[in-house]
Chains A and B, each alone.
Chain A
Amino acid sequence: MTAATDIDRTLTAPVRKTPMGTFDLVFRNASLVAALFVLVLLAGIMVSMVVGGWPAFREFGLGFLTSSVWDTQNEQYGAWPAIVGTLSTALIALVVGVPLSLGIAVFLTQLAPPWFKQPVSTAIELLAAVPSIIYGMWGLFVFVPLFAAYVQIPLSNLVEGMPVVGTILYSRSPSGLGILTAGIILAFMIIPFIASITRDMLDQIPSVLRESAYGIGATTWEVVRHVLVPQAGVSIIGAVMLGLGRALGETMAVTFVVGNANRLSSSVMDPGSTIASRIANEFNEALGLQLNALIALGCILFFVTFVVLVIARLLVARVKRY
């Protein structure tokens, strides 16, 4: 008996009692703590937004979401114009950006010769590396004047007096700044994300599927339309949602070109504001309740993007496993 425990001890003891064993334990726990910190971060962001915005939510209740007043003199705040601005710029970004991204993904995976694919892929990915503020500079100093001269003014003249389009597309002051401009700039910013995920998804589809479709005489378009898109379907929607998540929270580029108007206009050509642009614009001068109202706006943005990103990740992940 004693001999056996002695042997037992000599076998196990050195591993447990050396400094190495302590280091092992410390390292393991340190990495666990670091991993848990990721969870703490997200929870912390959520709690700080709710707590910081609470005074505004308490003061205005549900009316904070639906009110269009933003009056710093009388301390009346409502989120509606910023919510509508955020949603409409993001929607425009998707309408413009998704077809472009899908076209790029199809070009990269189906049409580009191998030697050409790599440099073009890199160029598209570099679009994602360009900082948001540079898009803002390009938008404000290059795109906005061109947009005002060649789109806003002719289009306003054309649609003036027409029902519906006459209000949506008419610009009272064709400065080039506005919701539509912001949406188009956002479209270029989300293209690299949607395009590269879609490209990866299309690349993952076994080439046997493609080849058999070509084998029965399908054209490239038919292969894309009837074989590749149905195969990658859900993950493409996931990629689009990911782009939507980006577009909703994008700040600097939008702040440069959206016009930063507090009113809600019925035309996409008129200046407006988004949640992010309003926070960036007013935060440093904000005091008291205005500060809380801005953080409350941030809270709304957090929950909207959170839901969108959760859906996006679930859709993308489902297909990855497959």
Chain B
Amino acid sequence: MTMATPAKPTAAPHVEWGRVRSSRRMADRLMKIIATSFTLIAIVVLFWILGMLIVKGLGGLSAATFTQVTPGPGSEGGGLANAIVGSIVLTFLGIAVATPVGVLAGTYLAEYGKASKLAELIRFINDILLSAPSILIGLFVYVVMVEPFRGYSGWAGGVALGIIAIPVIVRTTEDMLRLVPGSLREAGAALGAPPSVVITSVTWRAAKSGMVTGILLALARIAGETAPLIFTALNNNFWFSPTLVGGVSNLPVTIYQFASAPYENWQQLAWAGSLIITVSILVLSIIARRIVRGGK
């Protein structure tokens, strides 16, 4: 490829050596400055967002944030207790749905399917689901779970989050299982263990930390998802029913509804909620990254 392009440097040596060199040096320096400042812009935006959350969110945080329920329109004070608990319930419901499916599907791709046509197709579709718009998954769950049962529910919300988490877990599980050396599997098989036993007690065990990372990453991915919950779990200002039927309050939708509301306590709670959710997600992602690096 490089051979096809005319050899540029040979054209320059005698005439105007100094000028050519300085113009090349200028272009080089300009590119370095641009690349560095682009990186700076991105980092500034990250810290700007974090700074904004800390400045505006810390002011809204108090003991009441964690003990009182979300206030109704026009009422004083209030907290986010029901939204926080609701978010935790929905997120873990999503993970509970996604983990068995994701881990088994990832195991199929890495251990059974390997390079077969079917496995290649599933891998490809999984990659597409990985970046599919979450709002479509919300609509899908609305059509199959909310509309037929005539009502919003935490179950629908959990399933929607689970569907978003599945491709993340499938992908990381497969990647991590593939890192396990084949000799470990052969050693297990040589002891007479059937494939399922080799997988569950040798391969999974060897890849455990990587698989846990995948689940943590999925957790971080779905904890802040808002769009799919609008169509499924909705939101409300009370403690939700323990059966999870009817609207289940949750942080992201609460933030969405409170942020541009005309009540000052609502806005403050939206900021406090944003701080709580972002800090938890960033901590989760950093822990997940640490495990990956430690594992290697």
- Please give the residue numbers on chain A whose beta carbons come within 8 Å of chain B beta carbons, in ascending order: 15, 20-21, 23-24, 26-28, 30-39, 41-42, 44-45, 48-49, 51-52, 99-100, 103-104, 106-108, 110-112, 120, 122-127, 129-138, 140-142, 188, 191-192, 195, 209, 216-222, 224, 226-227, 230-231, 242, 245-246, 248-252, 256, 276, 279-280, 283-284, 295, 298, 301-302, 305-306, 309-310, 312-313, 317
Contact = CB atoms under 8 A, between A and B. Distances in A.
A124 B73 CA distance: 39
B52 A34 contact: no
Given A27-B200, A131-B223, 11 more contacts: A30-B104, A37-B166, A122-B286, A123-B43, A124-B43, A126-B286, A130-B49, A130-B281, A134-B224, A140-B260, A188-B42
Contacts of B220: 129
Contact of A129 (B56, B163, B255, B285): B285
Given A27-B200, A216-B9, A301-B136, A39 B43 contact: no
24 contacts: A34-B102, A34-B103, A34-B105, A37-B166, A38-B122, A41-B129, A42-B129, A48-B139, A49-B143, A99-B38, A106-B31, A107-B35, A130-B49, A131-B225, A131-B278, A138-B49, A188-B45, A216-B9, A220-B31, A248-B133, A250-B133, A279-B135, A283-B142, A301-B135
A111 B104 contact: no
Contact of B137 (A45, A110, A252): A45
A107 B36 contact: yes
Contact of B104 (A31, A218, A302): A31
Nearest to B36: A107
Contacts of B167: 38
Nearest to B144: A48
B112 to A, nearest CB: 6
Contacts of A133: 224, 226, 252, 255-256, 274
B24 interface: yes
Given A31-B105, A276-B133, A283-B231, A21 B278 contact: no
Which of B34, B103, B118 has the largest number of chain A CB atoms within 10 A?
B34
A298 B132 contact: no
B122 A36 contact: yes
